[in-house]
């Protein structure tokens, strides 16, 4: 997200801070600098620094002398061009400009430091916007002319001067290119003064911008200004696979971020033994396979039997190496691996005991509710059928009983009713 003053959008209102073409937050431009001395007053008798830093398209910055103008960050001003005048935005004022000039090696009386003409008027801004609107079309026609001349170069960007009388054509090329005929064709086609400027692949990516594989904006287009050399040794020290597709950035070169953590890895590797060290055991020689630098864990395997890897820590590895230096041979790597016991880390523990905070994050199985409802309906139907069958059997039994009682007398009842009463037993014995 960048404002219209440092991008090629035609709409004058940016999507972010809605400040009508100039950054209102101070954080959405390329290569912004925070003025941490802005709320501090100068000592008595000292005049403010009379040089300001001005930003142009895609983070291009230059220094200009200010003569009796009250300028603040974010103001649009007209500055000296070559020839004519250019329009830019003030990006930094005060004593921090002196520090930036010292950092970039620009002298106070250098010819590179030109003058500030005035604050930009409404007419200056309108001419500047019309010139900016022609950049994309100029770039397309320029590439067509390049294709017609069969020149081995790539036109990456076009930047018009604020007055619209000059344009800078940025290009990349592997070899030297004779573009004298190209300049004549550009001048006749666009009716402007042409300046060709060659940039490297990293500078091209910094000017155009983009999003890296980490999901953030490119470091070269947001804050990185010095492009140091990056080689594959940085990837080897960090135990990264030498895959060009993963290690290269938008520019096609190795990523600059490979150098960010390199010093930390080099400090950790100082206490580690060399990878070429061979461990001598009774079962045979063991060679290095891989390691975890910050956990200080190493994996070794036997030369003759390389199917199994044995994990050792730094203390055990140094013990084996010291033993071998004394002329002795250790028994086997299995003995050292059994001694290496890893403690289980408890991430969360409550009053009941260990419990996982992510126990509710597991996705629910699809179709469980449908299966349960289907089973309930089946059990309900089965229960209803069983109840119906029981009711049917009870009805049949009742019908049989009613038929027996109505048509034929029950023999058992008749037997009981026709039976004669038994005489009472005489408990007294006969004399």
Q: Are residues 182 and 241 in the same domain?
A: no
Q: Are residues 64 and 152 in the same domain?
A: no
Cis peptide before 130 (omega within 30 of 0): no
Q: Which of 161, 172, 226, 222 is nearest to 198 (CA)?
A: 172
Q: Are residues 287 and 266 in the same domain?
A: no
Residue 106 in domain? yes
Residue 34 in domain? yes
Asked whether the beta carbons of 55 and 6 are under 8 A apart, the reply is yes
Residue carrying the six token digits 């008595």: 44
Element (DSSP H or E) covering residue 378: helix 368-406
Q: Are residues 256 and 296 in the same domain?
A: no
Q: Which of 174, 205, 236 is the last residue of a domain?
A: 205
* pLDDT one-digit tens code per residue, 109-126: 888 899 999 999 999 999
pLDDT of residue 6: 45
For residues 331-343, one letter each, b for 16 or more C-beta atoms within 10 angstroms of the residue's C-beta and e for the rest, the string is eebeebeeeeeee
pLDDT at 209 over 60: yes
Q: Where are the alpha helices (DSSP H) in 227-332?
A: 232-237, 244-247, 262-269, 314-325
Q: Are residues 23 and 102 in the same domain?
A: yes
Classify burial at 420, counting beta carbons within 10 Å of its beta carbon; exposed 0-12, middle 13-18, buried 19 or more: exposed
The percentage of the chain sitting over the pLDDT mark of 70, rounded to a whole number, equals 76
Residue 382 in domain? no
pLDDT at 364 over 90: no
Residue carrying the six token digits 């200080």: 296
pLDDT at 12 over 80: no
pLDDT at 8 over 50: no
Q: Are strands 297-302 and 284-292 parallel, antiparallel or unpaired?
A: antiparallel
pLDDT of residue 74: 87
Residue carrying the six token digits 């994309």: 136
Q: In 3-state terms, what secondary structure has residue 72?
A: coil
Q: Are residues 181 and 155 in the same domain?
A: yes
- Report residue 221's pLDDT band, with 50, 70 and 90 as the boundaries: confident
Residue 430 in domain? no
* pLDDT one-digit tens code per residue, 281-299: 988 899 999 999 988 899 9
Residue 85 in domain? yes
Radius of gyration of the chain (CA): 45
pLDDT of residue 399: 59
Residue 18 in domain? yes
Handedness of CA 202, 206, 207, 213 (dihedral sign): positive
Q: Are residues 80 and 51 in the same domain?
A: yes
Q: Taking residues 57-75, what's their average pLDDT? A: 89
Q: Are residues 169 and 114 in the same domain?
A: no
- Report residue 305's pLDDT band, with 50, 70 and 90 as the boundaries: confident
DSSP tag of 44 = T
Q: Are strands 310-313 and 297-302 parallel, antiparallel or unpaired?
A: antiparallel
Q: Are residues 81 and 140 in the same domain?
A: no
Residue 75 in domain? yes
* pLDDT one-digit tens code per residue, 149-166: 999 999 999 999 999 999
Min mean pLDDT across 38-42, 78-82, 258-262, 410-414 is at 410-414
Q: Which of 73, 94, 121 is the last residue of a domain?
A: 121
Non-local (6+) Cβ contacts of 339 within 8 A are: 316
CB atoms within 10 A of CB 154: 14
Query: Looking at the 3D structure of the chain, how many domains does it have?
Result: 4
Q: Are residues 321 and 297 in the same domain?
A: yes
Asked whether the beta carbons of 170 and 199 are under 8 A apart, the reply is yes
pLDDT at 138 over 90: yes
Q: Are residues 34 and 106 in the same domain?
A: yes
Measured CA to CA, the distance from residue 85 to residue 395 in angstroms comes to: 111
Min mean pLDDT across 69-78, 97-106, 220-229, 418-427 is at 418-427
Q: Where are the alpha helices (DSSP H) in 13-155?
A: 95-104, 122-133, 135-149
- Report residue 431's pLDDT band, with 50, 70 and 90 as the boundaries: very low
β-bridge mates for residue 51, sequence order: 65
pLDDT of residue 226: 84
Structure tokens belonging to residue 178:
């004779």
Q: Taking residues 200-218, what's their average pLDDT? A: 89
Structure tokens belonging to residue 204:
């091209």
Residue 67 in domain? yes
Domain that holds residue 257: 228-270
Q: Are residues 109 and 197 in the same domain?
A: no
Q: Taking residues 48-65, what's their average pLDDT? A: 91
> For residue 67, which phi and psi values (nearest 5 degrees)?
-115, 100
């Amino acid at each position: 997200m960048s404002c219209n003053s440092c991008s090629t959008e035609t709409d004058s209102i940016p999507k972010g801070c809605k400040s009508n073409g100039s950054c209102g937050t101070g954080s959405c431009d390329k290569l912004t600098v925070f003025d941490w001395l802005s709320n501090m007053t100068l000592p008595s008798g000292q005049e403010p620094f009379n040089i300001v830093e001005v930003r142009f398209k895609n983070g291009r910055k230059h220094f200009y002398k200010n003569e009796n103008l009250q300028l603040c960050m974010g103001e649009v001003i007209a500055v000296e061009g070559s020839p004519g005048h250019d329009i830019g935005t003030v990006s930094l004022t005060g004593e921090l400009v002196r520090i930036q000039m010292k950092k970039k090696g620009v002298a106070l009386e250098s010819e590179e430091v030109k003058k500030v003409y005035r604050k930009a008027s409404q007419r200056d801004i309108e001419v500047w916007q019309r010139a900016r609107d022609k950049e994309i079309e100029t770039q397309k026609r320029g590439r067509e002319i390049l294709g017609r001349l069969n020149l081995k170069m790539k036109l990456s960007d076009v930047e018009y001067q604020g007055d619209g009388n000059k344009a800078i054509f940025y290009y990349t090329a592997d070899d030297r290119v004779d573009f004298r005929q190209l300049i004549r064709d550009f001048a006749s086609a666009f009716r402007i003064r042409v300046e060709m400027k060659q940039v490297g692949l990293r500078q091209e990516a910094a000017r155009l911008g983009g999003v890296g594989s980490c999901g953030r904006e490119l470091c070269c287009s947001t804050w990185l200004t010095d492009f140091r050399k990056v080689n594959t040794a940085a990837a080897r020290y960090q135990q990264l696979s030498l895959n060009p597709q993963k290690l290269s950035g938008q520019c096609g070169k190795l990523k600059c971020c490979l150098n960010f953590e390199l010093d930390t890895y080099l400090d950790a590797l100082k206490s580690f033994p060399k990878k070429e060290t061979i461990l001598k055991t009774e079962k045979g020689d063991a060679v290095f396979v891989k390691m975890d630098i910050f956990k200080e864990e190493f994996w070794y395997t036997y030369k003759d039997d390389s199917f199994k890897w044995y994990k050792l820590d730094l203390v055990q590895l140094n013990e084996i190496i010291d033993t071998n230096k004394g002329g002795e041979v250790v028994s086997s790597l299995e003995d050292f691996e059994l001694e290496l016991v890893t403690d289980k880390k408890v991430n969360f523990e409550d009053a009941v005991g260990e419990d996982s905070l992510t126990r509710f994050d597991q996705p629910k199985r699809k179709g469980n509710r449908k299966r349960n409802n289907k089973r309930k309906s089946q059990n309900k139907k089965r229960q209803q059928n069983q109840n119906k069958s029981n009711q049917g059997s009870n009805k049949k039994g009742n019908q049989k009983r009613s038929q027996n009682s109505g048509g034929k007398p029950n023999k058992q009842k008749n037997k009981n009713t026709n039976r004669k009463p038994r005489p009472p037993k005489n408990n007294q014995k006969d004399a």
